[in-house]
Amino acid sequence: MKETMIEVKNVNKSFGNLHVLKDCSIEVAKSEVVVLIGASGSGKSTLLRCLNFLEIIDGGTITISGKKIDPKKENVNHIREQVGMVFQHFNLFPHMTVLENIIEAPIHVKKVNKKQAIEHARQLLIKVGLLDKENAYPDQLSGGQKQRVAIARALAMKPDIMLFDEPTSALDPELVGEVLSVMKDLAMEGMTMVVVTHEMGFAREMADRVVVMHNGNIIEEGPPDQIFQQPSHERTQRFLSKVL
Ligand code: ADP
Ligand code: MG
């Protein structure tokens, strides 16, 4: 058995009267790539945000790398060092260069010395193919380049787990491939990943498991072939007929 990196057990989350996550449970093993799909509003982003403690769950448990997390007791920043997140809208700091964006958290949160942080940032820029852009500002970059910087910035904290929330949804179609290719490299290096995406090609090729959400519930999960070819839930079929 592979080491379990994420264990979500009976997690519930409401916003006011809106019950957004209903008894959700999933496990993610080390180096596993899990793709989370489902209609808009089904709770995918909320689930990812709970995994990164950007939202605090109302009930259930979240265990990261064998450690049950109680955000009331734990230093949440410390957990976030382990769990990197990439958002649809990049969220780069606009007044900082690419390099400054990447070294910010390692220096200020992790207290890495600046020289080392810069050295690591350059390695990451090589990895995402943007070493020549280290002095550019975000508004001088294409959407695909911005997202690759956002990935490098998340990786700069040396996370054990990476969460992606529709990382290519805001991109022009011709820029989607360059971001997916960086994600594929990461997956092949053994990164543990949870990816919300409508890119079913990526799911088919890279996912070890596809998890389907509907209306706050996890309605089914399985290997991509099974989910795409023989979905057991009518809601899954309906969703797939729209995106495939
Ligand atoms: P998805 O990512 O699958 O589209 P979300 O997790 O973003 O779904 O949203 C699930 C539901 O929770 C939606 O009805 C959304 O409007 C609601 N929601 C999400 N975040 C908040 C929030 N901060 N406050 C109130 N409602 C929210
Ligand atoms: Mg979402």
pLDDT at 209: 98
Q: What ipTM does this complex have?
A: 0.98
In testing the pocket of ligand 1, which one of 15, 52, 196, 239 has its CB within 8 Å of the most ligand atoms?
15
| C-alpha distances in Å from residue 173, one per residue of 9, 38, 152, 165, 212 | 36, 21, 21, 17, 24
Q: How far is CA 240 from the centre of its chain?
A: 21
Contact (Cβ atoms closer than 8 angstroms) between residue 11 and residue 185: no
Task: Give 63's strand partners.
Answer: 7, 68
CA–centroid distance, residue 32 to ligand 1 (Å): 26
Q: Give the strands of the sheet with 18-29, arranged side by side.
A: 18-29, 4-15, 59-64, 67-68
Ligand index nearest the alpha carbon of residue 21:
1
Kindly state the tokens that stand for 19: 């019950």
Polymer length of the chain? 244
In testing the pocket of ligand 1, which one of 18, 169, 218 has its CB within 8 Å of the most ligand atoms?
18
Ligand index nearest the alpha carbon of residue 169:
2
Nearest CA to ligand 1 atom 26: 15
Query: Which CATH superfamily hosts domain 4-241?
Result: P-loop containing nucleotide triphosphate hydrolases (3.40.50.300)
Nearest CA to ligand 1 atom 21: 15
Angle between helices 173-188 and 143-155 (to 10 degrees): 20
In testing the pocket of ligand 1, which one of 20, 58, 87 has its CB within 8 Å of the most ligand atoms?
20
Which atom of ligand 1 is the closest one to the Cα of 216?
10
Question: Residue 21: what residue type?
Answer: L
The one-character DSSP state at 139 is: G
> What is the spatial distance between Cα 168 and Cα 51, in angstroms, rounded to a whole number?
20
Nearest CA to ligand 1 atom 13: 41
Contact (Cβ atoms closer than 8 angstroms) between residue 227 and residue 220: yes
Residues lining ligand 1, CB < 6 A?
15, 18, 20, 38, 40-46
pLDDT at 121: 98
Question: Residue 229: what residue type?
Answer: Q
Contact (Cβ atoms closer than 8 angstroms) between residue 40 and residue 33: no
> What is the spatial distance between Cα 164 and Cα 160, in angstroms, rounded to a whole number?
14
Under-50 pLDDT residues of the chain: none
Ligand index nearest the alpha carbon of residue 165:
2
Which residue, 91, 159, 83, is CA-closest to 124?
159
pLDDT at 54: 92
pLDDT at 78: 80
Which atom of ligand 1 is the closest one to the Cα of 46?
6
Residues with CB under 5 A from ligand 2 (ion): 45
> What is the spatial distance between Cα 48 and Cα 54, in angstroms, rounded to a whole number?
9
pLDDT at 101: 98
- Quote the radius of gyration of the chain (alpha carbons, Å): 18
CA–centroid distance, residue 195 to ligand 2 (Å): 11
pTM of the model: 0.96
18-29 and 33-37: which strand pairing? unpaired
pLDDT at 243: 86
